[in-house]
Structure 1
Amino acid sequence: MQARLLLEDGTLFTGKAFGSEGESVGEVVFNTGITGYQEVLSDPSYCGQIVTMTYPLIGNYGIARDDFESIRPFVHGFVVRQHEEVPSNWRAQYTVDSLLKEYGIVGISDIDTRMLTRKIRHHGVMKAMLTTSTRRVEDLMEQLKASVLMTDQVSRVSTKSVFSCPGTKERVVLVDFGAKSGIIRDLSTRGCDVVVVPQDATADQIRRLAPDGILLSNGPGDPKDVPHAVRMIAELLGEFPIFGICLGHQLFALACGADTDKMKFGHRGGNHPVKDLESNRCYITSQNHGYAVMDDSIAGTNLIVTHINNNDKTIEGLKHAVHPAFSVQYHPEAAPGPFDSSYLFDDFLTMIRKFKQDRPGLPRQAEIIAARPNRQSAAEKGELAYAKK
């Protein structure tokens, strides 16, 4: 079956269809990873995007259930040079084709992905339509021009209810803006009692869970589309140690008075060099973002730049000069990509422990709430009971 990829500038790519039949509209982006296509497909940060893999052979090692970064794929389309239908890997349980069919995602192969990538690098990311229909190109273009890219990706991918991954050590509230499973794995490996909350959780709801620290997760889209999260972070800043990853990094910056803007084509891949300005050491990092904190917006805030991208000098890390809070633009949990930066989770736990040592007389938040006049609703009492466990 034939599939077509139509860009908003009129460029048309015609290739072979795989995955589901149908059509979808999204922002076309590229990822430079040689491996890790399954983790890319299941990264919630790609919600609303048609992903192009620059490595030419995709599907050769199949799909393994254990390698998912979320419960399902969220991409709006998948573009590859060569799609391998018969994987060769003892861990493979099924194919990329069957995965895309299961979740209604259109794929296209046998197109010039190098040309597509060069076009995106030159002109920037753009709106596109991926379709298996036989409609006239003029009709497709008319529909594409009339379509509007989504702005509610975070609410689409975030958990709808609170859940926990019990541990015996520090309680970390993970605010799910589209969190990858790797973040929970890294925290759980370190014994943390992880409580995952929805993206619209309020400061009071988080306080009632009595966290030792708060982790702001990665996620899709423009951070300015999540203003309620910025307000929540600003309210909790200084009250609890905070660690932001990717979208969480951008939201942390906004909450501190800095600004963000859209990049020309973003950073997506597992080979991005980042320089730690304190140690002067370079790390190879996994990244997936289309927005960045603006360098000229840091002046006048309490933010200190800790990391920069060695390629384009964009900001990759921040810390607060007064409060126990820091963030990075890249993914220390990797998956896919190198695990060079996993030490940041240890730094976060060290920050939590130091914060508690510096304030030994501070009672847990749950005890503070329990001492207040009895005005809690039934739901609040339920959350308080959980916080006291």
Structure 2
Amino acid sequence: MGKTGYLVLENGKVFQGRRFGAQGEVLAEVVFTTGMTGYLETLTDQSYYGQAVVQTFPLIGNYGVIPADFESDGIGPRGYIVKHWCQAPSNFRSEGSLDTFFSEKGVVALSGIDTRALTKLIREKGVMNGMITDNPQAVDMEALKAYKVEGAVRATSTKEAYTVQPEGDAKKRIALIDYGMKRNILRELVRRGAEVTVLPCTATAQEIAALDVDGIMLTNGPGDPAENVEIIENLKEICGLHIPMFGICLGHQLLALAHGGQRTKLKYGHRGENQPVKNLETGRVYVTSQNHGYAIVGDSLDEKVGRELYRNVNDGTCEGVRYLQHPAFSVQFHPEACGGPLDTEELFDEFFAMLAT
């Protein structure tokens, strides 16, 4: 096992563990996720940009590192905290261990932490900043408290546009605006026969109009949605194109803000594979995969502009919106989830049905 390391929280609480992966210090917003599987999808999800992830499931790493399951080419979290990490993974698809993978990618990690106590603390006090360090006495507590996740979308979005072709002839053409995309969103579109042009987060209405697409996809991504003032202004103009549109997670939040909605920061967010969501049109409840720290205030949208479509059964927060003045809908959860339930995968079919009209 590695040497002793510490997690210091901004409220002064210190957790002792053992280091693995890369060495060094890391300052991040500490969040927890309740997924029992899918740690590779979590690690490569850019929505965790600027954060240190606590896994509530006690054993992590048992099926190794499988690049085919990655959701992006990079690592999302700045730090990683687990109870036990498996040093001898067993899986026929595995291409290595987490320790080696983290060392190569520069991920600072801690094991042996009482993740149950840490999670309960975050649930009671709310998300807070923390530092992984060898010397807790030397931590600058003022700098720790002042840390904010900033510039996240621009840091994780593609810098250049590119196009992905389906097998066979393309049935539809879709513009995908990348705010920190999970790769499986792209896969789901291509699998249904779409030619997808992936655009940077700064894409404008003029650029999209020039592509002559059938639909627009707004992806997930990290950070505070309200920080993205220019992107929101661009979305207002993009909505004016009246091209069918589907937003997921951050895309859902940005679309709501572009329509005059408001966002709020959740006490500890929704991160895991077991969030129950109710469709307010049908009454059906779905189990969903989620990863977000902000939510749209359900009644902040003008009722003539959009209506709440999905609602979280646990806390009543808005989980989706159907827009009334142009063909668009959005969801807070992840219907494309690889390391989670597939209950809502049909939403991609609903989107494609919109493209046919």
After TM superposition, the score normalised by the length of structure 1 is 0.88
2:195 aligned partner? 193
SS in 2 for 1:208: helix
The answer to whether structure 1 residue 140 and structure 2 residue 139 are counterparts is yes
How far did residue 301 of structure 1 move? 5.0
- Counterpart contact for 1:215–1:243, Cα < 8 Å: yes
Measure the CA separation in 2 of the matches of 1:270 and 1:257: 30
Moved more, 160-169 or 202-211: 202-211
Task: Supply the AA of the counterpart residue of 1:337.
Answer: G
SS in 2 for 1:55: coil
- Counterpart contact for 1:13–1:111, Cα < 8 Å: yes
Q: How many residues align?
A: 351
1:160 aligned partner? 159
Q: Unmatched 5+ residue regions in structure 1?
A: 355-389
SS in 1 for 2:355: helix
Task: Supply the AA of the counterpart residue of 2:153.
Answer: V
How far did residue 146 of structure 1 move? 6.5
1:73 aligned partner? 75
Counting only pairs closer than 5 Å after superposition, residues 1-389 of structure 1 correspond to structure 2 as: 1-131=3-133, 133=134, 135=135, 137-142=136-141, 144-145=143-144, 147-167=146-166, 168-239=170-241, 240-299=243-302, 302-354=305-357
Measure the CA separation in 2 of the matches of 1:143 and 1:59: 34
Measure the CA separation in 1 of the matches of 2:206 and 2:293: 31
- Counterpart contact for 1:10–1:141, Cα < 8 Å: no
- Counterpart contact for 1:217–1:246, Cα < 8 Å: yes
Measure the CA separation in 1 of the matches of 2:232 and 2:99: 39
- Counterpart contact for 1:8–1:144, Cα < 8 Å: no
How far did residue 246 of structure 1 move? 0.1
Moved more, 233-242 or 5-14: 233-242
- Counterpart contact for 2:304–2:324, Cα < 8 Å: no
RMSD: 1.2
Task: Supply the AA of the counterpart residue of 1:156.
Answer: A
How far did residue 205 of structure 1 move? 1.4
Measure the CA separation in 1 of the matches of 2:188 and 2:230: 27
- Counterpart contact for 1:257–1:301, Cα < 8 Å: no
How far did residue 141 of structure 1 move? 3.6
Measure the CA separation in 1 of the matches of 2:4 and 2:146: 23
How far did residue 299 of structure 1 move? 3.8
1:375 aligned partner? none
After TM superposition, the score normalised by the length of structure 2 is 0.96
SS in 2 for 1:38: helix
Measure the CA separation in 2 of the matches of 1:324 and 1:114: 44
- Counterpart contact for 1:31–1:54, Cα < 8 Å: yes
Q: Structure 1 residues 116, 256: CA separation in 2 closer, same or farther (over 3 Å shift)? A: same
- Counterpart contact for 1:25–1:144, Cα < 8 Å: no
Measure the CA separation in 2 of the matches of 1:96 and 1:118: 26
Q: Structure 1 residues 108, 143: CA separation in 2 closer, same or farther (over 3 Å shift)? A: farther
How far did residue 144 of structure 1 move? 4.0
Task: Supply the AA of the counterpart residue of 2:244.
Answer: P
